[in-house]
Structure 1
């Protein structure tokens, strides 16, 4: 039944989008890689001789800029896919505070400002995130690392970084933020059941905490003020106190139950 619902959703979504984007085709579903037809194909990518010839990170960044004409014409689905497959997207992992790395990536690639300006970005990223399944294991979702299999938790973590940003959360209303919280809680439980550790799920916990602060959920606001949880967690350090993470999750569940 779940697969049939996913197929129906895909058919309906393609039908709706075709009214405005005649050439856009979207294929997605459980354990079927997302395929958006107007995704920008970077002309130089890792593993090629041309990439090896690039001598600096600056040259690599410049080689991966999206043409301005493409940015304005590409669908939001295609733009998200383009940035998820950005050859330097995983550079955030080289930082002790990974949010610092993601902010640098956002500032370097010219597609991010456009993405967060799109009025349909909330719908696009939440629907995509909901359809991602841990049953698909490795290398089904971007980012991809050449011939190396990408662990499934990296795929979830990367799209969650897109959701963590204030550029999205500050533009959403209360109902939308609760939708994100509920979905992140669901995925967090699935990842825990899969065996993914708390420290590999820090972006999930950070999203939950930021939403509770933005919703002014007083039980968590008080705890956060007393322990200064989010001042450290939202930068996404290498590790974090397990008891504090449990507090975040329990409070998020209580907020969800109260709605």
Structure 2
């Protein structure tokens, strides 16, 4: 078993945490084209004439804020789905360190700030994550597609949201075990589709699990995540402690 973890850790280190730019086609104007849109429907989206007229990122961020009169009335499930449709969401992957990208997202977007303050954020976000894991048939498509690209980015984005919720709350061990079990399912899904998820895909799962097993007082989860070196030993530690938690 120990040998397996070491091999897995090295695989992720050299392939999962690489910063190779992925050619993932993404169309955020219709992220869930086979689902009913839950929550707030952004009036101005990428691909529209109105979006093209926006001259800079600040203007794009401004038009994507959720009106206060709507924000507080959204159910948490609606809010999770609204955050996942946030047009500039994929910008978190433009940073050398994804956690820096998430910090910028929290700073810029009132929807994610509202979600992180909801008492049932963990539960509702996990439901969306579990649904995604259990409906992964899009990965079987032989060629790249907008739908597949959206699925890949959405799954990893949910993992980063779960990571932030964990860091801001004090869930009991049973809740953490439930979340960890789903994260390990997601981890195995990514391992079985490693060509699709190489790059940030493994990083987001690793960080989400690390937020649970390493706690807030460890260097990985410090206030300066960009200064942290994630090596094979750290990856193997996270893998081992993840398994130890679910086996308690």
TM-score, with length taken from structure 2: 0.73
CA distance in 2, matches of 1:72, 1:212: 32
Deviation at 1:87, TM superposition (A): 0.5
Unaligned runs of 5+ in 2: 1-31, 140-144
Unaligned runs of 5+ in 1: 1-30, 139-145
CA distance in 2, matches of 1:68, 1:152: 29
Deviation at 1:148, TM superposition (A): 7.5
Query: Is the partner of 2:136 in helix, strand or coil?
Result: helix
Query: Is the partner of 1:137 in helix, strand or coil?
Result: helix
Query: Is the partner of 1:201 in helix, strand or coil?
Result: helix
Q: Residue in 2 aligned with 1:121?
A: 121
Higher relative contact order (CA 8 A, sep 6+): 2
Deviation at 1:96, TM superposition (A): 0.8
CA distance in 2, matches of 1:107, 1:94: 16
Q: Residue in 2 aligned with 1:161?
A: 160
CA contact (8 A) 2:126 2:179 kept: yes
Cα deviation 1:58-99 (Å, max 9, x = unaligned)? 111111111111012111111111110001011111111111
Q: CA RMSD in A?
A: 3.2
Cα deviation 1:199-240 (Å, max 9, x = unaligned)? 6311211122221123x9xxxx9xx6xxx5555995598x94
CA distance in 2, matches of 1:163, 1:70: 23
CA distance in 2, matches of 1:210, 1:193: 23
TM-score, with length taken from structure 1: 0.70
Q: 1:199 to 1:236 in 2, by over 3 A?
A: farther
Larger Rg: 1
Q: 1:124 to 1:111 in 2, by over 3 A?
A: same
Q: Which runs of 4+ in 1 moved over 6 A?
A: none
